[in-house]
Amino acid sequence: MIKHIEKKEELLEEVKSGVTLIDFFATWCGPCKMLSPVLEEFDESHSSEIKIIKVDVDKGVELAAEYGIQAVPTLILVNEGKEIKRTMGYQNINALKDFCKF
């Protein structure tokens, strides 16, 4: 299940264990809207391995600043609280699966 988070404490709690994919998005962003169903599809088949967290940059301004988000959508893959990699822009399902391999 995809969670929406706006507070730093909540995000830190979620990412401290396991693998987490953080989607920094905005409700007004076209590519973000296109990415949303791709994330839903990915979550259906990978929820046991990877948690997905969505952060609305307009509501989670401090989080976006802390993570240095300069464009949306930005996806960040985190393992045990440490950033592994990030990418920006729309990803189709195959690109997302490739991105989440490490």
Catalytic residue ranges: 29, 32
Secondary structure class of 84 (helix, strand, coil): strand
- Stretch (H or E) spanning 15: helix 8-15
What CA–CA distance (Å, rounded) separates 8 from 73? Answer: 19
Are 80 and 16 a contacting pair, CB within 8 Å? yes
Q: In what order do the strands lie in the sheet with 74-79?
A: 3-4, 50-56, 19-25, 74-79, 82-88
